Every structure is written in C-alpha cells, then in structure tokens.
A and B are shown apart, each in its own frame.
Chain A
C-alpha cells in the first residue's frame, strides 16, 4: 500500500508498505529517519516515541497505515518543533497541553539535510547534554520527545510529575538521576527565558 503523511513538516510518501509494517519501520527503513530507536518493538521501552498529531506514541505500535494523512514529529524534527512553539507563544502557563487542532496546525520548516546541521538544539536537547543525561544514548530520542511534550504541558513539573511522564521510557545506563536533572534544567531555563 501507499502511505502519505507529514514527517517533521515535510510531506512524505511511502510505497509498497506491507500491511504489518509499523510506523517505526517506515520511519527508520523507508524514510531515512533512524532517530527513533528500536529497542523492544513491543511498546515496552519508549525508545521509539514520536508525536502523532501532537500526542506521544510508541511508533512501534502504530501500523503504518494508521498514519495516513497525519502529522508525525520525530527526534530529528524536535529542535524545529520546539522553536516554532516558542515563536508561536507556546504554552507558558503550564496548563494548556497540545490540542489536536493546535498540533495539526503546526508546520515545520522542511529540513534539507539531517536534523541538527543547523546547529540549533531545543532546550531539552541541550539540557540532556549539559546535565550528563546521555550515556549510550539509545533511550535518548524517545526520552527527549516525551520530556519535551511534558514541558509543553507543564512548564514547572515536580519530580513526581517528571517521573510519571517518563515512566514509559526505559534507560539502562544512567540510573535516571541525570535525566531528572536534565528535565529540571530545561524547565528552569524555560522559566528564565519567559
């Protein structure tokens, strides 16, 4: 089958997709976007987390056919997504979350090369580096997408909020403490910037 959808603001078309192929497989193996990781392919680890119409999902559990006509943001598009959010006022109150409409109306500037070449990172990406929250980094893309969505919903999350929001993302290397630090750091910087 053929699937048409938007990835990181760019219209994409995938041909000859098998019935059983997951969104994760299509992103990684057909779109050339291997940033979303394949650690369990069972919905247990969160490494493959992307936003589908603004909502964080395990892309390994989404059948490719389900994304027809929809909007996907992966870690590769995170910096741009965060930037656009900041430019459009984002969510400063900590209560608004992402409405489906708001998510749908979001449009990324299409990237020509791979993400990151522009050298700009989203606050959460920078915070992960600065806090030492990245070791092997395999969990990182999924955690970043989940943490970014948390900060969009809740600008001042408590530790318990952070733990709850990231409880679906396994990390085997860090012991999570520095991941908590990173989210706190990004929240604090966001606060400062307002």
Chain B
C-alpha cells in the first residue's frame, strides 16, 4: 500500500518537498514553471485535508442552528457516552481566561459562551475515531436556546433601543462610532461637495446593492494538530498568515508561542477566506485534551460557515458633472454588513471609503463608509477588500453620467481619469504611473468577438454557444448583444499605518559540488505562485541555478499575510533584500579568499552570475563553488515597504496607501431577453503590473480574478433569510460559482509601467481584476437590455421583470 502523508517524523505531506524547484530554471521576467507543479499533477502534493497520522482522531464542530439566542443549557452526556468518542468540549473546557480571538478586535468566541450571534457559530467540539462517529456524537449534544431579536440591517442595528450585538464593547473604535452596533466609521471630506454640486450641469444618483459573495476556495478548511512531548502542539494547516494565526492561537491554549509550532500544509486557494481562524484552535484543543493527533476537515456545507464572506453592501452615490463632461463632486455613503464579528471590517471600511471615488479626479467629496455589527454571517477579507463594492457603484454611475451627457462611456471615463500626480480624496498624491485612460484605450482597441457565434456558416445553431447552453432554451431568437466597460483602482499592501513587513532567510552553500541557495520564509503559498517567484528572485540575485524553497513555518520570522496583493511585493522584497545582503557577504568571502589574485576584487562592481563572480565588465573572477567551499552564508532579515499613515477619523486625510494597481475590462454579453439568461462571450482585461516577474502566472492571476468578478455579476450570492438570518444555500448545488461553460475567453493585455518605489518596479496584481470585471459585465447587460440593474448578482428575474 502506498504511504499516507505521515507527519510524525517528516512532514512529507506538506508542500515542502519542492526539491523539483531546483530543476526549474529561470530568473525574474521569465515564465518559470511552478516548482510544486509536478507534485500537484501527480496527486502527491499534500493539502491540509490530506494530513494523516496513524493514530489520529477526527474532530467535528457542532454549530448553532439559530442566528441569535441565549444558550440556556448544553447537555453532552449522550455524546460522551458513545463508543469511539474521546472528547467533547464546550466553552467550559477552555483552558485559560482568553476565550476570544480576532484579527483586530478580539470579539470572536472560540466556542460560544452565553449566546450565539450568528447561524453556524461553533458551540461544541467532538473528537472520535471515525468522522462519522464524531458527527453522530455531535448530533446527540442537546442545546437549549432562547431566541433573541435579530439585528439584520442598518435600520434594525441603529433603531432606538436596539439590542447590542456586543454589549460592553471596549475596542479602540468604540469612541468614534455613532452607535455600538457600528464596528467602524470612516468619513472622508475634501473640498466642498455642496458648493461643487452647484457647478454641476447634470447630477446622477444611484442606490446599489452588492450581494454576499463567498471565497469558495476548493480546498476545505482542514488540518492536523499533533500533541508534542513538551506539552506543546504541532499544527499543520492551510492558512494565509502563519504568524497571525499563532498570535491568536497560543494565548487561548495557554502556551507560549514557541510551543505552538505551525507548518503550512498545502493550501487549496484562499482569496481572503483563510485570514481568520477556522479549525486551528479547535484541533489544538482536542489534541491537547486527548493526547492524540486530531484531524479536522470541514465538508462544503461547513466551509460556508467556517470562514467570513465578502461584505454585502448598500451604496448610495451622487455624482455631478459639467456639460463638457468633467466630474464636479461625489457624495456617497457605503454601508457594509460586517455580520456578527468584526474580523477585518475596520480595514474594509478604510478601503471602501478611500477608494470610493475610483480612479478619477474629483476634488470635492463627501464620503462616509461604515460597517455594521448584525446577526448575519461574519464578513471580512475577500479579494478586492472593500474596493470591489465601491467599484460596482462608481462604474455604474460613470455610465449613467455619460448617458445623460450623451457621451461615449469610455471617453467620459478617460476625460476624468486620474494620472500620476493626481491627489486622492485622502490628500495623498498618486506618485507612480496611473495609466487609467491608457488601460481603457487598450481594452477598447482589442478586436471584438464575432457576432452570433452560435451560427457557423450554413449549419444549425450550436446551442452550446447560446445563453442557456445545453439546456437548449433558445436557438438565437430573443438574444441580444451588449458591450460594457469598467476600470478600477485597488491599493496594494496593508494600509493606514500598519507595520507591514516580511522576513526572509537565505542561505548559500555548496551542496553536491554546486552552489545552492535556500530560501526560507513563512509566506503562505495559496496557489498564487509565490514559491515560483522566490526562486526566480534568488536565481537572479545570486547567480545560481539551484534554489531550494524551505517549508513555510513559524521557525522563521513573519512574512505577513498572503493577501492585499502584497506577497510578491513584500515577501518578494524581503527575499530580494536578503539576497542582496547575502551577495555582499559572499563577495566579502571571495575577497578574503581570492582578493590578492586580481585587483578587480577591490575596485570593480561585482555580480554573481551563472555560478560565478563576475565584474560588471563581464570578467570572471571566481567560481561560487570555490568561494563558498567550506563556508555557508546564512542571513535572516526583515524588509518593510515605505510607511503609511492612519486616516484622520474626521476628515479622512492621510497618506494611507503604499501603492495602487489598476485594471480595466470590456465585457461582451449575449442575453436571452425572454428567459433572462446571460452568456458572457468575452471578458477582455488590460492591467498594469509594473513589472511581470512571471508573465505566465501574471496572466493566470488576472484571468482567475476576472472570473471571480464574473461570478458575482451573474450568479454568486450567499442568501441569508432576512427573517431568520439563516444561510439558505450553503452548498455548491445552490451557491453557484462559474464553471468552464460560464467562463468566456479572457484575453489579457499586460502593461508594465514600473513603480520606482517597488522591488523591480512591480505592482501587486491579484485583486485589481476582481474589481472591474463585475461592473463591466453589468454594464454590458444594461447595454443589451436597457434595464437599470443596480444589484449583484443579476438573476433572470431581474431581466425579465418576473
């Protein structure tokens, strides 16, 4: 029998045996192949749900069946008595006084105590010898709930006498929010929007609704906790930020951080949904209680409760413009539903407000964004992070304004497009290229797909190319085409004064007669390709072919989160920085060993290239093998991007962001106006990536982000029953994500305008394409149907008026 990925000795299951990486060539700018590609196509790459230990138990979480209730009693008697059950834990079993966790505000209970605040909140844990036993035991736990009134929207949250989702809040936002059911509020006031409004020849207003989207990564929340001999625990888990998890886990367990050793296991996608903890603490608690390894794997149903979602939002927008097409002002109010716990809501508010204007020049603004506490499912980070909802609204507004002025929507946008030097509504100048008009020009210039593609000359209609596809609902009658455009701006990296840094350890030595570099970071590879890029950077900076990527774990300093499009910038920057210092040390070593043989050692600019030390004139001074023989150079260093500052809580002014990224889309859709079915024919994208470190991966990221935006435009929404605050569609049967049949061709035009402040001039890329694809699709559907359409996703009933 083949071997299970055993973790007892070596974590063979972790995505760490990337020795293949050393065989992959390529420096930066090349489409180097993934070092983990072979493992992934052979089924050997061990994701967190593949972790296995001989003698392990299975953990299961019991979750609340109601959204808001006092817990009257919990009876675990029958569950504990079941054969095969090793432990049943509730709030009372938590080992320390720290019973909550959270990214910024520690308001999330490890296990519900006193009350539950949303449907699906964890209440009890079971460990058993078979997953089915654990599930059956959990079903035997009896909980008595006394239901409480529900807070489900802004009106119920701020109504006089409204019950508080969190009584006795004492976080640092409470002092400036107008109501304790508001997590955070960020106004931005610049110029005078009222006065500017008087100059407007046209004014358009709109109310937009953005549905709750799910990250729907395919790899379920899962991992394995193994108790260790020193009383600590080893945790193999899929996450986006090992050190952030560690900081939250250790205090709950009552262990010092050194005794909680975390190793990244294979991550099956993340998209923000793994920023918050899911099963991490639960698995550790069960492992420590039973003294046995415990594996927890959520099924898809549970996964919909196991992570935070994208904030649904209501957006109220008012723009004005002069008759020659210049924007005069913006007044907007963005209400984000943060659900029962804070998660990343405060930062999402900061993003939504500061990016609410979009990539346009508007000097006079009056902006407010808030996030609510409600009894809806908790919301937090998802690709695009607050900028997505705003982009949906401001792009719809741009089309409305253009229509009212009788202008071409692309020209209208170009007329108002920001550029390098534009001042953001926060007062921060945009100090790197901002090719907004150019991206629109490029995406518009791409050839359009032919009309009526379902008709090949003389043949019968190919229904697969029609809206409704193989359901054979139309043969082309009632099908109209529409074209729409959108563009967006996303910040890169953590903002608002956050100390955003990363750590890299780089070692150079001779192994098997060859110079080898080992790169060790705690970066979570979630599929984005960071491991590929790190090897490319090391090869480029150190002139070696052999690069080994060390497992990501907590034995090295923090890499920060794999989110906010920041990992290539910040951890890539840390790898580059550390490689540069390693290079200096290697050259010092060379000087000591061989300096007397050639004057260039002392005088010339020296490089490492092709395994040799060379002068900038190309003269070879030594082989790296000879320089390193008998020595190793090993450095661990932190690297930071330039600092940002907090936004003023009254005016919203402040240099809050590090970098911006921009993408534009053109959508071509065909709509069956009789049945309300939409087929997206093409979704072209132009994006500025600063510098494409790996062009193949860059295009893959852009296409993936585009598709998630397409999903929210036409199908994706977690539906929460407004009467019960229960999730109605936690399955892939009812929560639809785009299949290959729903996804069109996505031609990508990549622009590389270097940002001089960033390593290699690169720009974060992962999120921007998610912003503009949604409004582009909506614009195309409006163009096809003439309907107003102010919500996502668009469903057939919105198109047919039924």
Q: Shortest distance in angstroms between B304's beta carbon and chain A's nearest beta carbon?
A: 11
Q: Shortest distance in angstroms between A47's beta carbon and chain B's nearest beta carbon?
A: 6
Interface size on B, residues (CB 8 A): 69
Residue contact B2 to A167, C-beta cutoff 8 Å = no
Q: Known: A31-B2, A41-B300, A42-B733. Is A175-B219 also a contact (CB below 8 A)?
A: no
Stretch from B45-53, B282-290, B582-590 at the A interface:
B45-53
Contact of A167 among B31, B52, B707, B741 (CB under 8 A): B741
Which of B's residues lie within 8 Å of A, judged by CB?
Answer: 1-5, 31, 33-34, 36-47, 49-50, 52, 130, 132, 215-220, 266-271, 297, 299-300, 462, 464-465, 470, 526-529, 696-697, 699-700, 703-708, 731-733, 737-741, 743, 745-746
Stretch from A61-69, A91-99, A100-108, A129-137 at the B interface:
A129-137
Residue contact A175 to B743, C-beta cutoff 8 Å = yes
Cβ of A32 < 8 Å from any Cβ of B? yes
The 7 closest A-B pairs by CB, nearest first: A35-B43, A136-B527, A138-B268, A116-B42, A175-B703, A137-B40, A44-B732
Q: Known: A34-B52, A177-B745. Is A75-B733 also a contact (CB below 8 A)?
A: no
Residue contact A160 to B47, C-beta cutoff 8 Å = no
| Residues of B close to A175: CB separation below 8 A | 700, 703-707, 743, 746
107-149 of chain A: CB within 8 A of chain B: 111, 113-116, 121, 125-126, 128-130, 132, 134-141, 144
Residue contact B41 to A134, C-beta cutoff 8 Å = yes
Bound Cα distance A126, B34 (Å)? 12
By beta carbon, the residue of chain A nearest B464 is: A160
Contact of B269 among A34, A42, A138 (CB under 8 A): A138
Residue contact A32 to B39, C-beta cutoff 8 Å = no
Residue contact B42 to A35, C-beta cutoff 8 Å = yes
| Residues of A close to B732: CB separation below 8 A | 40, 42, 44-45, 170
Q: A135-B529, A160-B465 are in contact. List 18 more A-B contacts (CB 8 A).
A: A21-B132, A28-B50, A31-B2, A33-B43, A34-B52, A35-B42, A37-B47, A44-B733, A129-B38, A130-B33, A132-B33, A132-B700, A136-B527, A167-B741, A170-B737, A170-B739, A172-B269, A178-B703
Bound Cα distance A90, B697 (Å)? 34
Residue contact A135 to B528, C-beta cutoff 8 Å = yes
Q: Shortest distance in angstroms between B291's beta carbon and chain A's nearest beta carbon?
A: 21
By beta carbon, the residue of chain B nearest A144 is: B41
20-60 of chain A: CB within 8 A of chain B: 20-21, 28-29, 31-42, 44-45, 47
Bound Cα distance A167, B44 (Å)? 25
List, sorted by A's number, 15 A–B pairs whose CB atoms are closer than 8 Å: A20-B132, A32-B2, A34-B50, A35-B42, A37-B219, A38-B49, A38-B297, A116-B42, A132-B696, A135-B700, A138-B219, A167-B740, A174-B703, A176-B738, A180-B740
Q: Shortest distance in angstroms between B267's beta carbon and chain A's nearest beta carbon?
A: 6
Bound Cα distance A149, B779 (Å)? 39
| Residues of B close to A32: CB separation below 8 A | 1-4, 52
Residue contact B34 to A174, C-beta cutoff 8 Å = no
Q: Shortest distance in angstroms between B51's beta carbon and chain A's nearest beta carbon?
A: 9
Residue contact A171 to B218, C-beta cutoff 8 Å = yes
| Residues of B close to A126: CB separation below 8 A | 41
Contact of A18 among B132, B269, B737, B743 (CB under 8 A): B132
Residue contact A39 to B39, C-beta cutoff 8 Å = no
Residue contact B219 to A177, C-beta cutoff 8 Å = no
By beta carbon, the residue of chain B nearest A132 is: B696
Residue contact B470 to A136, C-beta cutoff 8 Å = no
Q: Known: A18-B132, A130-B33. Is A33-B2 also a contact (CB below 8 A)?
A: yes
By beta carbon, the residue of chain A nearest B12 is: A114
Interface centre among B46, B267, B464 (most CB of A within 10 A): B464
Residue contact B52 to A136, C-beta cutoff 8 Å = no
| Residues of B close to A132: CB separation below 8 A | 31, 33-34, 696-697, 699-700
By beta carbon, the residue of chain A nearest B528 is: A135
Cβ of A169 < 8 Å from any Cβ of B? yes
By beta carbon, the residue of chain A nearest B773 is: A175
Cβ of A72 < 8 Å from any Cβ of B? no
Bound Cα distance A172, B3 (Å)? 29
Residue contact B269 to A12, C-beta cutoff 8 Å = no
By beta carbon, the residue of chain B nearest A145 is: B43
| Residues of A close to B707: CB separation below 8 A | 174-176
Residue contact A40 to B731, C-beta cutoff 8 Å = yes
Cβ of A173 < 8 Å from any Cβ of B? yes
Q: Known: A39-B268, A129-B41, A138-B219. Is A173-B464 also a contact (CB below 8 A)?
A: no
Q: Shortest distance in angstroms between B414's beta carbon and chain A's nearest beta carbon?
A: 27
| Residues of A close to B704: CB separation below 8 A | 135, 172-175
Residue contact B216 to A172, C-beta cutoff 8 Å = yes
| Residues of A close to B739: CB separation below 8 A | 167-170
Q: Shortest distance in angstroms between B684's beta carbon and chain A's nearest beta carbon?
A: 12
| Residues of B close to A136: CB separation below 8 A | 217-219, 267-270, 526-527
Bound Cα distance A79, B741 (Å)? 27
Bound Cα distance A143, B731 (Å)? 20
By beta carbon, the residue of chain A nearest B47 is: A138
Bound Cα distance A76, B741 (Å)? 27
Cβ of A74 < 8 Å from any Cβ of B? yes
Interface size on A, residues (CB 8 A): 66
Cβ of A179 < 8 Å from any Cβ of B? yes
By beta carbon, the residue of chain B nearest A28 is: B50
Contact of A47 among B36, B218, B731 (CB under 8 A): B218
Cβ of A189 < 8 Å from any Cβ of B? no
Q: Known: A34-B5, A39-B219. Is A44-B731 also a contact (CB below 8 A)?
A: yes
Cβ of A2 < 8 Å from any Cβ of B? no
By beta carbon, the residue of chain B nearest A137 is: B40
Bound Cα distance A42, B304 (Å)? 14
Bound Cα distance A40, B219 (Å)? 9
Bound Cα distance A137, B733 (Å)? 22
Cβ of A163 < 8 Å from any Cβ of B? yes
Q: Shortest distance in angstroms between A6's beta carbon and chain B's nearest beta carbon?
A: 13
Bound Cα distance A125, B43 (Å)? 10
Bound Cα distance A160, B706 (Å)? 21
Bound Cα distance A136, B525 (Å)? 8
Cβ of A155 < 8 Å from any Cβ of B? no
Bound Cα distance A141, B41 (Å)? 6
Residue contact B268 to A37, C-beta cutoff 8 Å = yes
Q: Known: A44-B732, A121-B38, A167-B739. Is A115-B268 also a contact (CB below 8 A)?
A: no
| Residues of B close to A166: CB separation below 8 A | 740
Q: Shortest distance in angstroms between A161's beta carbon and chain B's nearest beta carbon?
A: 9
Q: Shortest distance in angstroms between A70's beta carbon and chain B's nearest beta carbon?
A: 18
Bound Cα distance A160, B741 (Å)? 9
Bound Cα distance A172, B527 (Å)? 11
| Residues of B close to A76: CB separation below 8 A | 2, 42-44
| Residues of B close to A121: CB separation below 8 A | 38, 41-42
Bound Cα distance A128, B45 (Å)? 15
Cβ of A87 < 8 Å from any Cβ of B? no
Bound Cα distance A26, B657 (Å)? 50
Residue contact B464 to A137, C-beta cutoff 8 Å = no
Bound Cα distance A168, B733 (Å)? 12
By beta carbon, the residue of chain B nearest A13 is: B1
Q: Shortest distance in angstroms between B50's beta carbon and chain A's nearest beta carbon?
A: 4
Interface centre among B37, B46, B745 (most CB of A within 10 A): B37
Bound Cα distance A24, B708 (Å)? 28
| Residues of A close to B462: CB separation below 8 A | 160
Interface centre among B40, B47, B50, B745 (most CB of A within 10 A): B40
| Residues of B close to A12: CB separation below 8 A | 1
Contact of B220 among A18, A28, A39, A130 (CB under 8 A): A39
Interface centre among A115, A132, A178 (most CB of B within 10 A): A132
| Residues of A close to B733: CB separation below 8 A | 42, 44
Bound Cα distance A134, B220 (Å)? 18
Cβ of A15 < 8 Å from any Cβ of B? no
| Residues of A close to B216: CB separation below 8 A | 172
By beta carbon, the residue of chain A nearest B39 is: A116
Residue contact B38 to A172, C-beta cutoff 8 Å = no
Residue contact B43 to A75, C-beta cutoff 8 Å = yes
Residue contact A174 to B700, C-beta cutoff 8 Å = yes
By beta carbon, the residue of chain B nearest A166 is: B740
Q: Known: A45-B732, A121-B41, A138-B219. Is A113-B2 also a contact (CB below 8 A)?
A: yes
